[in-house]
């Protein structure tokens, strides 16, 4: 994996108005990024994020026209963070299951896919650069509490592997981030111990600069990675047991 430096970089972060995206934007600036294109569906929610190096972009990652417009507005980008994500469906018997699952796939998989498709030529012109896909442990082993969200993150994991191979010849490094529970709006209802977005963002940037293709940015994820490497089936059973425990009201 090639060395990627944050200092002096021009980055684009999707979903930059809150959670990990906001923390990444602030961490990039603190580490010396030259410019950060901060993208969000509602740019007005980006007020107070960063300094004059931040360029706010309107971007709904499910909107192909907005993706093309964002790419055109950011011709100098060398570092792309596919961070925007959503989790909705939790009950396989819910009447909204299919609609929610489609939206999760649109945001968590097709959004990054479209952005990669349109941004790859820009990265090539700018020397290759790097793409960072913010995935989840749920993309490696399905979390039964979030079955369709997990499936969308599994699709993103597969895309990350393919992009690493296909974009490598143009000099683009591709990183996959596999976080555990992070203290964001998305995980508000989870009673598991959660890591602060700021700490996750710093660990992601450390991983990029260290050239680690697969980044596990929090204590839960680090522990999981060791277990997953030794026995994927054991981690599947562990997550299933965790789901049962949470459903019964126990966090032990």
pLDDT at 242 over 90: no
pLDDT of residue 190: 64
Q: What is the pLDDT of residues 107-132, one digit of tens each?
A: 999 999 999 999 999 999 999 999 99
Query: Average pLDDT, whole number, for the chain?
Result: 90
pLDDT at 175 over 70: yes
Tokens of 249: 């009201």
Positions marked active-site = 149
- Strands of the sheet with 214-215, listed across from one edge: 54-58, 35-40, 10-13, 79-82, 130-134, 173-177, 214-215
- Ranking 68-77, 87-96, 109-118 by mean pLDDT, the lowest is 87-96
pLDDT of residue 183: 86
CATH code that applies to domain 10-247: 3.40.50.720
pLDDT at 57 over 50: yes
pLDDT at 164 over 60: yes
- Rounded to 5°, angle at Cα 75 from 70 and 80: 65
**CA pair distance 109, 50, nearest whole angstrom:** 28
**In the predicted model, what is the mean pLDDT of residues 40-50?**
88
pLDDT of residue 95: 87
- Ranking 4-8, 92-96, 106-110, 221-225 by mean pLDDT, the lowest is 92-96
Residue 234: band (very low, low, confident or very high) from pLDDT cuts 50, 70, 90 = confident
pLDDT of residue 252: 39
Residue 74's nearest CA partner among 111, 125, 20 is: 125
pLDDT of residue 129: 97
pLDDT at 154 over 90: yes
Provide the strand spans (E) within the chain: 10-13, 35-40, 54-58, 79-82, 130-134, 173-177, 214-215
**In the predicted model, what is the mean pLDDT of residues 197-222?**
96
- The reported pTM is 0.89
pLDDT of residue 251: 44
Residue 34's nearest CA partner among 52, 21, 17 is: 52
């Amino acid at each position: 994996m090639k060395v990627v430096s944050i200092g002096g970089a021009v980055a684009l972060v999707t979903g930059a108005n809150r959670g990990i995206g906001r923390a990444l934007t602030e961490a990039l600036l603190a580490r010396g990024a030259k410019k950060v294109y901060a993208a969000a569906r509602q740019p007005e929610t980006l007020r107070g994020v960063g300094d004059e190096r931040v360029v706010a972009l309107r971007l709904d990652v499910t909107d192909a026209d907005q993706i093309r417009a964002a790419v055109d507005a950011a011709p100098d980008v060398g570092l792309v963070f596919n961070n925007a994500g959503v989790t909705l469906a939790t009950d396989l018997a819910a009447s909204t299951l299919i609609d929610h699952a489609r939206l999760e796939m649109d945001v968590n998989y097709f959004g990054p896919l479209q952005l990669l498709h349109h941004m790859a030529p820009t990265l090539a012109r700018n020397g290759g650069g790097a793409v960072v896909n913010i995935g989840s442990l749920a993309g490696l082993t399905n979390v039964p509490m979030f079955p369709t969200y997990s499936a969308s993150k599994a699709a993103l994991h597969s895309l990350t592997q393919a992009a690493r191979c296909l974009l490598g010849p143009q000099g683009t490094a591709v990183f996959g981030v596999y976080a555990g529970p992070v203290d964001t709006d998305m995980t508000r209802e989870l009673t598991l111990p959660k890591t602060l977005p700021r700490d996750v963002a710093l660990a992601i940037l450390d991983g990029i600069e260290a050239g680690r293709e697969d980044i596990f940015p929090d204590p839960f994820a680090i522990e999981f990675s060791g277990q997953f490497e030794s026995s994927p089936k054991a981690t599947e059973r562990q997550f299933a047991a965790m789901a049962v425990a949470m459903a019964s009201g126990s966090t032990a």
